[in-house]
Amino acid sequence: MNTYYAANLLIFAGVDIIACLALNLQFGVSGVVNFSFIVFQAAGAYAAAVLSMPPDTAPDYSFQIYVGGYQLPFPLPWIGGAIVGGLVALPVGVVVLRRLRADYQAIALLVTSIIANTVINNARPLLNGAAGLALVPQPLDGLVNTSTNSYQYLYIALTAISVAIVWFIAARIVNSPYGRTLRAMRENELAASALGKNSTALKMTIFVVGGAIAGLSGAILVGFLQVWAPSTWLYPETIILFAAVIVGGRGNNVGAILGALLVPVGFEEVTRLLGRMNIGPPNLIPALEWVCIGLLILGFLWFRPKGVVPEQRRVFPGALAVEEETRWVVGKRAR
Amino acid sequence: MSLLIAAFGFGLVSMAVIALAAVGFTMQFGITNMINLAYGEVMIASAFFAYYLNQARVSVWIAMLGGAAFGAVFSFLINRFVYAPFQRKGTALLGMVIVSLAVSLMISNAMLPIVGYFSVAYRERFSHLLRFGDIALSVNQIVIIGLAVAVMLAVHALLRYTRLGKAMRATAANPMLARNCGIPANRVIDAVWLITGSICGLAGVVAALDSDSFTIASGATFLITALAAAVLGGAGQPYGAMIGAVIIGLVTELSAAVWAPDYKQVVAFAILVLVMVLRPQGLLAKRGALAAAG
């Protein structure tokens, strides 16, 4: 039981860290307010599920209807999840990121998230509709016994390796000249394009890279939970990740990781503790938690817009001190 | 054929409901430069306020006025205590979108313990049908259409023929210049939130009345249709929102008649995607959703 609890906590933490690193690349580093982030996580989860499950004609699986069912061996479903996450990001990016103004991009992505959920919820033959997929095989199922304690540790290790890989990639992106260009676009898109940077292409690449990482996080999650349904990826789930990145400190990876540990993991734990106490009507505590997430976003944007760990100022040695504050989300009072 | 004509009748009702919602939304954006993603939640909160009045044996039409008043006060307070301070602080447009989404999340979840998940309906609904050829509409639906036409005319009169409307248009065009010309921009913006808030509340009650039963989850649906109509017409353009509502109302009802009613929202969304790809600025606006250069 204790091992299961530890596995639960650590794997959720790992998935949230991966998701927050990806969202930070898009929202924190590049200024793309991706309100449909959870859709790419869901795409990866569905892809990993149908890649690892047997066809829906198999005797134990005949109560659900879904496409695919390829029974691929372990690393392939996770890789497939990442690829599908990136592939789904491509058409969304082409429609949304090309010509629209930044705030319209945000609302278009929010609407995309709500509609994608509605479609998957209503179109049963595709991915079993509202009931979702169940009995998703765990990685290495059949090769090792998945019901032992040591398997839980193995899963934690696999998650940790994924976190390390994603962190490495994110760090490379943030510190590369490409990352510098992304930050330039975030701070002043017009100026960046005037210097010959193609902002649409920059946004597209980071949108697809972030989508792929989000897909990987979904694949890890679905391998552990073994179920996936539209009710697990409603649009407010994206807002939790936004709260995490804002609280942690947008634009830097350490902040994103800290935010993931403070907000989604922290709230998960609080729910678990308060859930035992039976206070008020059954839906009171979860509802109040969502209110708290909203307050957290407003509070941090008001009092500490740069988050707990602010993004470090990057200055060239010998450059004149620049006084103007970062103001792409919250800045100084306009005069 | 008669199916399509009947669907046209429902289309008229949808148009009325969507037009009410979209005009309030687009005026908020056009004049105060605020994409208020909490709009759908304010609509559903007003619908529930009217529902409780209605449960206390108040006629649904008077409860509707109550809902409008509730929407006005609620929107005014949200702007006064959340949006306006953040705007004064110099928050960028993108930041304001995040702020309004957080507000939307807070409203719906603060309401949840009070109203619950259950779907509810107004009592004392007039289901008596009037027939015009193949079109059969209930008394309710005809009142809704009349109400929408009246509000559209009132908005037109307000913007065209009153000093307040002129001040609103000036503030929308250039707030700084309007202020320098002696227009009390802050008071104009307060008035905008009260007026659009009351339209929002009215739209919420009307949408709830039209959809027979409603739940707390209807807020997101309301927001999407209002957004689609507003963006189609050209965001910030009240007349554009009216045209957008006519198109979306007709197309969704016709598609529901010939295809599947479950996908009304998806059809509205498909229209939205087409607009964004082909004409991001909308039908009427010159700039609208189009990015600056680059």
Least confident window among A46-55, A60-69, A292-301, B186-195:
A60-69
| CATH code, B67 | 1.10.3470
Please indicate whether residue A53 or residue B286 has the higher confidence score (pLDDT). A53
Q: Is there a domain that residue B290 lies in? A: no
Least confident window among B120-124, B164-168, B175-179:
B120-124
Phi, psi of A141 (to 5 degrees): -60, 135
Give yes or no for a contact between B232 and B275, defined as CB atoms under 8 angstroms apart: yes
- Pairwise CB contact (< 8 Å): B86 & A302: yes
Chain B residues lying within 8 Å of A330, measured CB to CB: 86, 89-92, 95
Q: Choosing among A34, A181, A301, A325, which should be mutated to test the B contact, i.e. which has the most B CBs within 10 A?
A: A301
pLDDT digits (tens, 9 = 90+) for B59-116: 889 999 999 999 999 999 999 999 999 998 888 888 999 999 999 999 999 998 888 8
B91 CB-near residues (< 8 Å, 6+ apart): A301, A329, A330, A331, B99
Give yes or no for a contact between A16 and A214, defined as CB atoms under 8 angstroms apart: no
- A23-47 average pLDDT score: 95
pLDDT surpassing 70 at residue A69: yes
**What percent of chain A is helix, strand and coil (3-state, nearest 5)?**
70, 0, 30
Structural domain boundaries of chain A? Answer: 2-234
pTM of structure: 0.90
Query: Which ipTM was obtained for this model?
Result: 0.87
Chain B residues lying within 8 Å of A297, measured CB to CB: 98-99, 102
pLDDT surpassing 90 at residue B253: no
Size of interface A-B (CB pairs under 8 A): 149
Q: Residue B39: what pLDDT?
A: 95
Q: Is there a domain that residue B220 lies in? A: yes
Domain containing residue B111: 2-278
Task: Identify the band that residue A81 occupies on the pLDDT scale cut at 50, 70 and 90.
Answer: very high
- B273-284 average pLDDT score: 80
Put simply, whether A236 touches B (Cβ < 8 Å) is: yes
Residue of B nearest to A185 (CA): B294
Task: Identify the band that residue B199 occupies on the pLDDT scale cut at 50, 70 and 90.
Answer: very high
Q: Residue A333: what pLDDT?
A: 45
Tokens 């391998």 locate to A223
Chain A, window 10-49: residues with a beta carbon less than 8 angstroms from a chain B beta carbon = 31, 33, 35
Q: Residue B45: what pLDDT?
A: 96
Chain B, window 195-234: residues with a beta carbon less than 8 angstroms from a chain A beta carbon = 220, 224, 227-228, 231
Average predicted confidence (pLDDT) for chain A: 88
**Angle B47-B51-B57 (CA atoms, 0-180°, nearest 5)?**
150
Chain A residues lying within 8 Å of B110, measured CB to CB: 287, 291
Put simply, whether A328 touches B (Cβ < 8 Å) is: yes
Number of domains in chain B: 1
Residue of A nearest to B105 (CA): A294
Q: Is there a domain that residue B288 lies in? A: no
Put simply, whether B278 touches A (Cβ < 8 Å) is: no
- Pairwise CB contact (< 8 Å): B93 & A102: yes
Q: Round to whole Å and give the CA distance between B41 and B105.
A: 8
Q: Is there a domain that residue B194 lies in? A: yes
User: What beta strand segments (E) does A128-227 contain?
Assistant: none
Q: Round to whole Å and give the CA distance between B244 and B234.
A: 8
Put simply, whether B118 touches A (Cβ < 8 Å) is: no
